[in-house]
């Protein structure tokens, strides 16, 4: 998914790239598959039950997110909203504070904390 954002916005700073990642996928129409290449041979199987469709860049295309359901989609969206808030707050930090921000931001979160 980040590769798609990097293709769309190749010349932006790291903080802007991450912000655009969150903005893009928080507003993405989930009925449209996320794909890196322009191959459009993948047919969406309505019975897969996936609420987010991310297609592999290899042939044959495969839905990499077929195990994601509505419940896990809500968890992902909540984490992305929180990440977007943190990234926007980081824009106002001093150069001394930004290193601490990145250390905290890149720490893995437990699912129970989301």
* CATH number of the domain within which 83 lies: 1.10.1410.10
Quote the pLDDT of residue 39: 63
Q: How far apart are CA 74 and CA 105, in angstroms?
A: 20
105 inside domain: no
What rounded mean pLDDT belongs to the chain?
81
Domain of 80 in residue numbering reads as 2-91
Establish if 114 belongs to a structural domain.
no
Q: Peptide bond preceding 46: is omega within 30 degrees of 0, i.e. cis?
A: no
Contact 25, 44 (CB under 8 A): no
Q: How many structural domains is the chain composed of?
A: 1
Q: Does residue 103 form part of some domain?
A: no
Mean pLDDT value across residues 65-90: 87
Query: What number is the average pLDDT over the span 45-68?
Result: 74
Residue 31 is assigned to a structural domain of this protein: yes
What pLDDT, on a 0 to 100 scale, did the predictor assign at position 91? 85
Residue 67: inside a domain:
yes
The pTM assigned to this predicted structure is 0.74
**Is 72 a member of any domain?**
yes
Residue 83 to residue 77: CA distance in whole angstroms: 10
From CA 56, how far away is CA 102, in angstroms rounded? 29
Q: Judge whether 79 lies within some domain.
A: yes
> Is the distance from CB of 79 to CB of 88 less than 8 angstroms?
no
Is the residue at 30 inside a domain? Answer: yes
């Amino acid at each position: 998914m980040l590769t798609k954002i990097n293709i769309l916005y190749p010349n932006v700073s790291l903080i802007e790239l991450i912000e655009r990642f969150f903005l893009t996928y928080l507003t993405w129409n989930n009925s449209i598959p996320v794909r890196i290449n322009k191959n459009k041979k993948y047919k969406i199987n309505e019975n897969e039950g996936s609420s987010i469709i991310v297609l592999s860049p290899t042939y044959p295309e495969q839905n990499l997110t077929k195990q994601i359901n509505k419940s896990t989609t809500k968890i992902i969206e909540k984490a992305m909203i929180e990440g977007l808030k943190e990234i926007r707050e980081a824009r106002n930090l001093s150069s001394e504070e930004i290193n601490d921000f990145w250390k905290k931001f890149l720490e893995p979160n437990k699912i129970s904390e989301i």
